[in-house]
Structure 1
Amino acid sequence: MTLYYTLVFLLLVAEIALFMLLILPLPFNVRRKLFTFISENPIVAKFQYWLKITFVFILVLFIDSVNRVYRVQQELAATSEAHGNGGHAIHGHERLEVQARKFYSQRNMYLCGFTLFLSLILNRTYILILEVLRLEEKLKQYEGNSASKRQGKSSSEKQSAENKDEEIARLKRELALREQDLATLKKQAAGLHREYDSLAEKYSKTQDDGTPKKEK
């Protein structure tokens, strides 16, 4: 694996670790302080800026790997067609070399694709968690104000309290929807992780001294 694809793999591992950190069931105050620090710290903002530039380069690598897979597929189709039309037979080492190029191109395509897709999931998860924290804080404020003004109210105050109760119910429904979206993202990230583990296991089984084994 070349240096830049090794760096892409390390970035993918870092994204997986960061996603696990985001979905940890931390207390509300701890999570609020953590995300406040992330959203307001200037060093983190600069780091996110450079990460965006890095993902642009990963997108270029992904497009290049897709192009390589397409060219290898065309080469395999051309050689198979020539062999079927009475051309020269494909030697074993030549076919093995083409299969190796195809496998490495597909590996690089999946690696860059998974990294880009997980970055989108991380960004969406981060936004949803910030939204959940905002709604939870607003809900606590409404509940505190509503509980402190339960007794000795006039009719207008009672109407205002009812409106606040309706607002609390609406916030609870919105919070439930955000948590449902967050759970969906967790399932998608888990499926992505399983798919990458399957690809890595396939790669380790087919590799022998730097070349894939010949299929039986």
Structure 2
Amino acid sequence: MTLQWTAVAFFLYAEIVVNLILCIPFISARRWRSVFSWRIWNWLSPYWNKCFVTMIMVLIVLFLDAVREVQKYSGPEPMHDAKVNPNLYDNVHMKLFRAQRNLYISGFSLFLWLIMRRIVTLLNQVAITVENSSGLQAQMDSAVKAAKLHQDDNLMLKQALLDEEQSMSAKTQQMKLEADKLADQVKAAEEAVRKSHAEVEAMRRQAKGLAHEYDRLLREHHQLQNFQSPADKKDQ
């Protein structure tokens, strides 16, 4: 194996290990986001896109070269020459095997490189979503608590209004009873005043009759005195 394909093979093994670590289930997305927030990654972030595109281009070139090698050693001419010379047959098959091996290595390296970037992106998105959902959950919990408090306040207010209404109803009923009682007392007082007026009127009429009677008796008394006066004079 040449140096370039040895490097690609080690790169493939490193990609497999990194992808397996990223897919460990007990490491949450928040922890991966905290890891991705280290200063070293912030320092390397300006070069990350360039490195990613460069590796894709290198792997694509190697993949196309491996495809070319496979087509070269699987064509009819090398196989025809290999049938004529047995030693050349083993050499062609060995080169075809190496070309196919290099094709698989470069193809899987390119595939895992794209998969690794996608996993990192999804982990960041999941961590952001979890943080937003936690914030929304906290806001929803606070909103539910506030709504429950408002509901309790409304129930207390309704109960206070109901008690106040019952109290006002009782006071109104009591005032109505007192008003009826006062009305009865007013009627009784009016009846008493009417009787008093009637008695006063009767007494006034009686006093007037007594006065007329007194005047009549005085006149009769004067008349009697006048009748007696001449007779007394004659007796004398």
Using the size of structure 2 for normalisation, the TM-score is: 0.55
Q: Distance in 1 between matches of 2:117 and 2:102?
A: 23
Q: Distance in 2 between matches of 1:121 and 1:28?
A: 17
How far the C-alpha of 1:33 sits from its partner, in A, is 0.8
1:121 is aligned to 2:152? no
How far the C-alpha of 1:44 sits from its partner, in A, is 4.6
1:12 is aligned to 2:6? no
1:147 is aligned to 2:148? no
Cα deviation 1:87-129 (Å, max 9, x = unaligned): xx52321211111111111111111001001111111111111
C-alpha change, 1:39 and 1:145, in structure 2 (3 Å) is farther
Structure exhibiting the larger radius of gyration computed from Cα positions: 2
More helix by percentage: 2
SS in 2 for 1:150: helix
User: AA paired with 2:33?
Assistant: R
Q: Distance in 2 between matches of 1:152 and 1:97?
A: 81
Using the size of structure 1 for normalisation, the TM-score is: 0.60
Q: Which residue pairs with 1:59 in the alignment?
A: 60
How far the C-alpha of 1:152 sits from its partner, in A, is 4.3
CA contact (8 A) 1:79 1:90 kept: yes
Cα deviation 1:19-38 (Å, max 9, x = unaligned): 12212222454323112238
Q: Distance in 2 between matches of 1:75 and 1:68?
A: 14
Identity within the alignment, %: 25
Tell me, which stretches of 5 or more residues in structure 1 are unaligned?
Answer: 84-88, 158-216
Tell me, which stretches of 5 or more residues in structure 2 are unaligned?
Answer: 152-236
Q: Distance in 1 between matches of 2:120 and 2:30?
A: 16
- Equivalences for residues 158-177 of structure 1 within 5 A: none
C-alpha change, 1:55 and 1:19, in structure 2 (3 Å) is same
CA contact (8 A) 1:38 1:44 kept: no
Q: Which residue pairs with 1:30 in the alignment?
A: 31
Q: Distance in 1 between matches of 2:113 and 2:126?
A: 20
How far the C-alpha of 1:149 sits from its partner, in A, is 2.3
Q: Distance in 2 between matches of 1:3 and 1:104?
A: 13
User: AA paired with 2:143?
Assistant: K
CA contact (8 A) 1:76 1:98 kept: no
User: AA paired with 2:67?
Assistant: V
- Equivalences for residues 47-126 of structure 1 within 5 A: 47=48, 49-75=50-76, 79=80, 90-126=84-120
- Between 1 and 2, higher relative CO (CA 8 Å, sep ≥ 6) is seen in 1
CA contact (8 A) 1:58 1:116 kept: yes
CA contact (8 A) 1:39 1:45 kept: no
CA RMSD of aligned residues (A): 2.7
